[in-house]
């Protein structure tokens, strides 16, 4: 990851000119304390659900302290947001009608993406006994599927100029195909090649969903609040919801294995684990297919018939100059 990030930074340094259309402006209006508080909220939330299974959730004093700290920090974030002029996330940015729908959809994608972190890893490691080097082959499948999903979005929107909101239905269908295929494939002695298709479908659907939702977010919010909307989506995407779902899946898997052992099923530990993983994939199938049916019956209408244009940086620079003059005159 560090190598890839350095490659991106080097590419920017080589292929772009150090050109400024306006003079550098100091970051005087950024709420740094608000940034720290929102970051602490994310860290505390991630820590709670990441170590919940290890500490046996609220039975441990460490988890109780983490829950109290999360509530207090969140209250500080909300209070500061409502009582200062330039909040890190402005209160007006939370009032857009379609924003909460988008955040729910982002959470759904993270829920579907958390299944391989627990169930697929438990299946490949605990049932199939694949090593790390073997399972890394699936990462190349995910990478290929992500590129295919992005190119599919490009062709859908730019070449064929179809409704970009219908891409969400295609993404949901692809995401729903993953737990269905895994439910049908789970068995001891499965070849790793059989996992290529479900992994490809999941990563393909993720790429379509995240690309389309980001476009839809840009359509639903003006430029002034768009990056705040990205921050809200990032709060869901970059850790908290995925950690929440992974923690719940880990707890559900442990509970399901204990329940199957208690029922006295005539299987060894590998068979019981395989049955438990299949049961949880079955529950995930119900959720995914239910959401797919909702999308098929409810055609989400776009904000406008054509995509709006992002403002050019020259326009943004002129707007910033006008605001700077107003502040200087006042």
Ramachandran angles phi, psi of 305, nearest 5°: -70, -30
What pLDDT does residue 270 have? 84
Of the chain, the percentage scoring pLDDT greater than 90 comes to 28
Pairs from 249-256 (Cβ < 8 Å, separation ≥ 24): 249/114, 249/115, 249/117, 249/118, 249/119, 249/280, 250/53, 250/118, 251/52, 251/53, 251/57, 252/280, 253/118, 253/119, 253/122, 253/277, 253/280, 254/53, 256/280
- Inform me whether the pLDDT recorded for 311 exceeds 50: yes
**The tokens of 287 are what?**
């959720």
- Nearest Cα residue to 225 out of 105, 102, 56, 94: 94
pLDDT per residue over 132-147, tens digit each? 888 888 889 999 999 9
Per-residue confidence band for 313, with pLDDT thresholds at 50, 70 and 90: low
135, burial (CB in 10 Å: exposed 0-12, middle 13-18, buried 19+) = middle
What pLDDT does residue 201 have? 94
Contact by Cβ (8 Å): 220, 303: yes
What pLDDT does residue 302 have? 47
Per-residue confidence band for 310, with pLDDT thresholds at 50, 70 and 90: low
pLDDT per residue over 49-80, tens digit each? 889 888 988 899 999 999 999 999 999 999 99
Spatial distance between the Cα atoms of 105 and 220, rounded to a whole number of angstroms: 14
Over residues 305-319, mean pLDDT:
65
What pLDDT does residue 304 have? 44
171, burial (CB in 10 Å: exposed 0-12, middle 13-18, buried 19+) = buried
Per-residue confidence band for 179, with pLDDT thresholds at 50, 70 and 90: very high
What pLDDT does residue 303 have? 43
**Relative orientation angle of helices 196-220 and 166-185, to the nearest 10 degrees:** 160
- Inform me whether the pLDDT recorded for 225 exceeds 80: yes
pLDDT per residue over 88-110, tens digit each? 888 888 888 778 888 888 888 88
**The tokens of 245 are what?**
């779902």
What pLDDT does residue 299 have? 57
- Inform me whether the pLDDT recorded for 305 exceeds 50: no
Contact by Cβ (8 Å): 196, 124: no
Mean pLDDT across the chain = 84
Per-residue CA distances from 168 to 204, 302, 308 (Å): 12, 11, 19
Over residues 237-253, mean pLDDT:
83
Over residues 152-179, mean pLDDT:
86
242 CB-near residues (< 8 Å, 6+ apart): 110, 113, 114, 117
3-state secondary structure of 128: coil
- Inform me whether the pLDDT recorded for 166 exceeds 50: yes
Residue corresponding to tokens 């039975």? 59
**16 alpha-carbon distance from chain centroid:** 30
Spatial distance between the Cα atoms of 65 and 60, rounded to a whole number of angstroms: 9
What pLDDT does residue 244 have? 85
What pLDDT does residue 28 have? 63
- Inform me whether the pLDDT recorded for 87 exceeds 90: no
Spatial distance between the Cα atoms of 195 and 137, rounded to a whole number of angstroms: 10
What pLDDT does residue 108 have? 84
Q: How many CB atoms are located within 10 Å of the residue 279 CB?
A: 18
- Inform me whether the pLDDT recorded for 206 exceeds 60: yes
- Nearest Cα residue to 288 out of 134, 123, 169, 122: 169
Of the chain, the percentage scoring pLDDT greater than 70 comes to 90
3-state secondary structure of 268: coil
pLDDT per residue over 266-281, tens digit each? 788 888 889 999 999 9
Lowest mean pLDDT among 64-78, 143-157, 305-319: 305-319
SS3 track for 2-39? HHHHHHHHHHHHHHCCCCCCCCCCCCCCCCHHHHHHHH
């Amino acid at each position: 990851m560090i190598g890839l990030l350095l490659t991106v930074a080097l590419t920017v340094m080589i292929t772009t000119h150090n050109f400024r259309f306006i003079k550098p402006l100091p970051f005087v209006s950024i709420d740094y304390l608000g940034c720290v508080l929102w970051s602490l909220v994310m860290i505390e939330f991630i820590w709670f659900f990441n170590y919940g299974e290890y500490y046996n959730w609220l039975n441990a004093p460490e988890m109780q302290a983490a829950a109290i700290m999360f509530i207090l920090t969140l209250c500080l974030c909300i209070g500061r947001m409502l009582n200062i002029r330039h909040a890190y996330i402005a209160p007006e940015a939370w009032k857009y009608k379609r924003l909460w729908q988008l955040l729910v959809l982002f959470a759904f994608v993270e829920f579907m993406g958390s299944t391989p972190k627990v169930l697929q890893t438990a299946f490949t490691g605990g049932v199939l006994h694949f090593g790390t080097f073997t399972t890394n082959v699936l990462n190349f499948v995910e990478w290929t599927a992500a590129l295919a999903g992005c190119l599919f979005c490009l062709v859908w929107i730019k070449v064929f100029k179809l409704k970009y909101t219908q891409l969400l239905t295609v993404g949901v269908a692809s995401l729903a195909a993953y737990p269905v295929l895994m439910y049908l494939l789970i068995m001891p002695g499965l070849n790793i090649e059989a996992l290529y298709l479900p992994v490809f479908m999941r990563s393909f659907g993720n790429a379509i969903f995240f690309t389309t939702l980001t476009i839809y977010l840009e359509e639903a919010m003006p430029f002034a609040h768009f990056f705040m909307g990205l921050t809200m989506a990032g709060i869901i995407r970059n850790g908290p919801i995925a950690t929440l779902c992974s923690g719940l899946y880990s707890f559900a898997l442990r509970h399901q294995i204990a329940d199957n052992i208690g029922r006295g099923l005539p299987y060894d530990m590998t068979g019981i684990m395989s049955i438990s993983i299949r049961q949880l994939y079955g529950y995930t199938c119900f959720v995914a297919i239910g959401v797919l049916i909702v999308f098929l019956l409810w055609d989400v209408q776009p904000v406008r018939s054509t995509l709006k244009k992002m403002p050019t940086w020259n326009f943004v620079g002129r707007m910033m100059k006008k605001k700077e003059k107003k502040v200087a005159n006042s």
